[in-house]
Amino acid sequence: MINTERMTEHVMDLIRIDSPSRREKEVALRLEKEMKDLGAECFYDDAGDKVNGNVGNLIVRLKGNKSDAPPFFLSAHMDTVGPGEGIKPRVENGIIKSDGTTILGSDDKSGVAVIVEVLRTLKEQNMPHGDIEIAFTICEEVGLLGAKHIDISKFRSSYGIVLDSSTPSRLVLRCPSAVKMEFTVHGLEAHAGVCPENGLSAIKIASEAIAGMKLGRIDDITTANIGIIHGGRATNIIPNLVKAVGEARSHSEESLKAQVDHMRQCFHDAVSGYEVTIHDDLSLEGTVRVATLEEKIDRSYDRMDVPPGSVPARLVETAVANLGHKIEHHTSGGGCDANYFNKMGVECVNLGTGMYDLHTVNEYLVLEEFYRCSEIVLEAVKLNALNIK
């Protein structure tokens, strides 16, 4: 039903347009033109201003040709991770990959291309459909910022599909909540050779905190990581400052809180053990100096947990069955724009587009799955127009 050749060319074209987070304008303008050519209305919200980007979320409405059909929401993100500039995609044995020096950017240009192909097919074949409302978002890769700041009042849909996961054989219904943590340890600077006893090493303190910390896969539904550490200035200076940045994610609020509390406790315990008395004046007692801790704990996003019996889940499942394929429900370890859309009242499932090894230079897109994803979305839109759920 869909035009696979056109889809392949289109996704390659989109991949060739650089669109790192906060610089999605060029790809947005291209999509805006394509959508207008199909007769859709387009506008940008002010999310770009809020995140210091060069463009907002591109919001598109294609008017339906069947007035009693409920509106349907579709979304994919326009930004990509690095290294993602000057990508040279090539087709090889049924997959698209980069030349190995950059990511491919099928995350999430493949989702974007699926949506465009679905709209083109609907138009060309004059298929019955209700209003289709689309969010081509910015800044998904830097904390779902486009979705976080989207003007949801612009949408009338109460459900839809986000195209931003791995395989169309799996339907993501659950994504975790996430918390970002920034710990700054303040020690005390001193000459490492002349008077090391006057120093408090922030590196040593932070090391103790992290060494005692449960990290990685905590349980079936919880993960944690310290991903960045900065500190120290020279080998002959006892370092007085270390910053460690990490995160925890869980499908359970209780487990998430327990993990965050644990990580904080590790830093508190490590810091509280360190003090030194400095005799730098005439008083006999000297001055007691202690290590201190600064914490910044921020909620990144809230979990999503879409019931298997929900309208979008059933639409996708029926579509998959009609096309003679299989799909299973999946719980993801990552967040996606759908976390926000669900929270804002647009119930969304996340369907895979055939992309693998994401966020690495080995990223690739399996064309058969990419095409299949489009057929599924097209079928779901048709079912929705017929009010079959």
Residue 53, φ and ψ in degrees, nearest 5 = -95, 175
CB nearer Zn ion, residue 133 or residue 164: 164
Q: Binding segment for Zn ion among 102-110, 172-180, 205-213, 373-381 (CB under 5 A)?
A: 102-110
CB nearer Zn ion, residue 89 or residue 239: 89
Question: In angstroms, what is the minimal distance from the CB of 160 to Zn ion?
Answer: 16
CB nearer Zn ion, residue 107 or residue 375: 107
Question: In angstroms, what is the minimal distance from the CB of 50 to Zn ion?
Answer: 20
> Is residue 34 among the annotated active site residues?
no
Question: In angstroms, what is the minimal distance from the CB of 256 to Zn ion?
Answer: 22
Question: In angstroms, what is the minimal distance from the CB of 111 to Zn ion?
Answer: 7
For position 317 contacting Zn ion by CB under 5 A, the verdict is no
Where in 245-264 is the site for Zn ion (CB under 5 A)?
none
Among 32, 45, 79, 108, binds Zn ion (CB under 5 A): 108
> Is residue 79 among the annotated active site residues?
yes
Let me know how long the chain is: 389
Catalytic residue among 45, 79, 131, 337: 79
Question: In angstroms, what is the minimal distance from the CB of 44 to Zn ion?
Answer: 20
Q: Binding segment for Zn ion among 94-102, 105-113, 255-263, 314-322 (CB under 5 A)?
A: 105-113
CB nearer Zn ion, residue 231 or residue 334: 334
CB nearer Zn ion, residue 108 or residue 247: 108
Where in 164-183 is the site for Zn ion (CB under 5 A)?
164
Closest CA to 381 of 130, 66, 68: 130
Q: Binding string to Zn ion for residues 145 to 164, with x set by CB under 5 A, is what?
A: -------------------x
The β-bridge partners of 178 are 249, 301
Closest CA to 27 of 117, 144, 122, 105: 105
Among 34, 107, 117, 369, binds Zn ion (CB under 5 A): 107
Question: In angstroms, what is the minimal distance from the CB of 351 to Zn ion?
Answer: 12
Query: Where on the chain is the footprint of Zn ion (CB under 5 A)?
Result: 107-108, 164
Catalytic residue set:
79, 140
